[in-house]
Structure 1
């Protein structure tokens, strides 16, 4: 609250922004492993977007992460909120699918995450052979694959951006 009063007094409306870094300065943004992320931390950083945790994921049995909230910040489109669900599998485990699964939908604000189940806009299956399969009404957002990699990480999550490594 004091930050808002001070910034309003000084005429600096954006000075209390809780975003870690500006989108145009991606080189300074570290991705945080989802398993240790706190609300407000960046889960995915790409050249044109940041995926920021806005509502913690609810763990499911035995391998799901449900009703998490994220906001996507982009310089061109501003901020959009999403509810995200992920089901993580294990390669070679009998009875389990050979893919990780992430799906989501836009929501009005973070508190809407988990309020209405079963209604998703997009779905992405990340097969262990490297194939990506898009399902759902809409094409998955470009950041969805990287978010699934963070959410379904086996072992330690490398917080260095994969996209930068592959460039």
Structure 2
């Protein structure tokens, strides 16, 4: 069964993006979206596991810390699969390898179908929160980076919401993989 896995890098003070979605801090923290050294040219280990990406519109259109380099794009420019973007505003013109969808459950179904037996990588805090709200998110993979941002987009922000129980599946000095318990 295909898993939906929220993947992100997070500052020590709990932010996954700086003010206004700024991602330039990733280079300052010495990390990339695989939790490693951004100067490392090796293949991101997550690339082989990801069959499709489900992204929020802000994340998809957001700040890429590798813009203008050969590492521009998902997983340091190494991801070549299909991306499904959850948005309220479907553009008139499509982009190669990208499907814009205005319904979460439809976007999940399309992404799972495209992923086959691989992971659907969920990118974007709001999309992850929505997936949790409908009981669809299976796992959360967080790479903790050595920087304090002070402000920005929180890993999980749900004012007035209920706690979400997680089970740690795997943890090391750079990352935590948790299973969402419903």
Q: Does the alignment reach a TM-score above 0.5?
A: no
Q: Which has the higher contact order (CA 8 A, sep 6+)?
A: 2
TM-score (norm 2): 0.28
TM-score (norm 1): 0.30
